Structure 1
């Protein structure tokens, strides 16, 4: 067995690295902060990292017989699992669009695939970047219990972040439900690999929360021209995208006014 019989039916992804476990045979605890001197397990070793043949130092019960006694990191694990589920659902929806409607569109970049990047909670709502072969957008999704199914498709909303104000467009899909999206890049021809697109997406999510970028976002036309120049260097140079884009290039991507088409 790879899990444990006690809490969560043995699902290791339900416990955090800080979880304190307890043998359900003799009630001996395993605390990651202490490790296990008897079996030479160093302090700081999480229960999920224990060798598969580790057993209770008191009664020799296998690790599968341990239950959760206390888990200080349980909330972070739940949140991570929630974001993974959100990302998977979004990816599934837009993969369907790709296969059903977008594969033969001339402007798509076929070296790319659909991928949700960096989704986390921002003011209670999932926020992240969705990469597809035809666009890269910043996505804001409803909080738990919040219903965005009545959003007006195409309506625009300005949302404030530490780096500035960004224009989001409302949309509703049958599978994904309601969401708000800010266009970053479209089309996606400047990206040579999926890894480059992911690097840019992660940089966007970092720069979005830096207040020092606010002054740059206020100079729309000047910065837009600078971004275009960076993405389209002279023909004499080999066109490429920096693996770590400049702060200006990344943060001003959110100022794009042309919303990527979701191929409804």
Structure 2
């Protein structure tokens, strides 16, 4: 199995395809924040929509053409597996493609396994996400969100580089205990992995 590496680009002009897709992701969720979510009590008014740390993924054939990063909004923070080529057409009848819960699949980053759900947003197309935090009331500022997101990605990418492990996607849950996301973000891995809360 081939190892996977990340190629940085983010909003960097060095990778216009990645920068464009990340901008579309941010725009889609900024629109949702201002339209569908406006005024709901679940929103943290100190936060905004931000795509953080997106990097191109290189590895096995089924991983090529994807990026991994974190999408933070005033109501959630999720890992996002983003195809770099949009699939925005939807169904032939103009409807939204069906998203089935049985399509959930784990992706492994070093020793950490996360379940990713398939998603689809108009204008963005298909992508996968793994919820890390919701709601976002534990954060006082966007800077706090960004710092945690950057640290999570550092831990995942360091683990991946250290173990040279490609993410695995299978229809069934992988063996082993599931990772407690709250512990990962705010507790148990702090000392071992260097996460500052």
Q: What is the rounded CA distance, in whole Å, between the counterparts of 2:123 and 2:86 in structure 1?
A: 17
Residue aligning to 1:109: 44
Residue aligning to 1:152: 99
Which structure dedicates a bigger proportion of its chain to strand?
2
Q: How big is the shift at 1:162?
A: 2.2
Taking structure 2 as the reference length, what is the TM-score of the superposition?
A: 0.66
**Residue of structure 2 aligned with 1:198, choices 135, 146, 165:** 146
Residue aligning to 1:181: 129
Per-residue CA deviation, residues 17-75 of structure 1 (Å, 9 max, x unaligned), is xxxxxxxxxxxxxxxxxxxxxxxxxxxxxxxxxxxxxxxxxxxxxxxxxxxxxxxxxxx
Q: Does the 8 Å contact 2:75/2:135 carry over to 1?
A: yes
Q: How big is the shift at 1:180?
A: 0.2
**Residue of structure 2 aligned with 1:136, choices 77, 93, 104:** 77
Match of 2:48, SS? Answer: coil
Residue aligning to 2:21: 86
Q: What is the rounded CA distance, in whole Å, between the counterparts of 2:135 and 2:194 in structure 1?
A: 16
Q: Does the 8 Å contact 1:163/1:207 carry over to 2?
A: no
101-110 or 176-185: bigger deviation? 101-110
Q: How big is the shift at 1:85?
A: 1.3
Q: What is the rounded CA distance, in whole Å, between the counterparts of 1:118 and 1:247 in structure 2?
A: 22
Q: Which has the higher contact order (CA 8 A, sep 6+)?
A: 2
Match of 1:208, SS? Answer: helix
Runs of 4 or more, structure 1, over 6 Å off, are 145-148
Q: Does the 8 Å contact 2:148/2:185 carry over to 1?
A: no
Instruction: Give 5+ residue unaligned stretches, structure 2.
Output: 1-11, 59-63, 91-96, 164-175
Per-residue CA deviation, residues 236-258 of structure 1 (Å, 9 max, x unaligned), is xxxxxxxxx656696xxxxxxxx
Q: What is the rounded CA distance, in whole Å, between the counterparts of 1:164 and 1:189 in structure 2?
A: 25
Q: Does the 8 Å contact 2:17/2:84 carry over to 1?
A: no
Q: What is the rounded CA distance, in whole Å, between the counterparts of 1:199 and 1:162 in structure 2?
A: 21
Per-residue CA deviation, residues 124-182 of structure 1 (Å, 9 max, x unaligned), is 31111111000001111114477895573543111122233210000111111000001
Q: Does the 8 Å contact 1:129/1:138 carry over to 2?
A: yes
Q: How big is the shift at 1:211?
A: 3.0
Q: What is the rounded CA distance, in whole Å, between the counterparts of 2:99 and 2:17 in structure 1?
A: 26
Q: Does the 8 Å contact 1:142/1:148 carry over to 2?
A: no
Q: What is the rounded CA distance, in whole Å, between the counterparts of 1:126 and 1:225 in structure 2?
A: 24
Which structure dedicates a bigger proportion of its chain to helix?
1
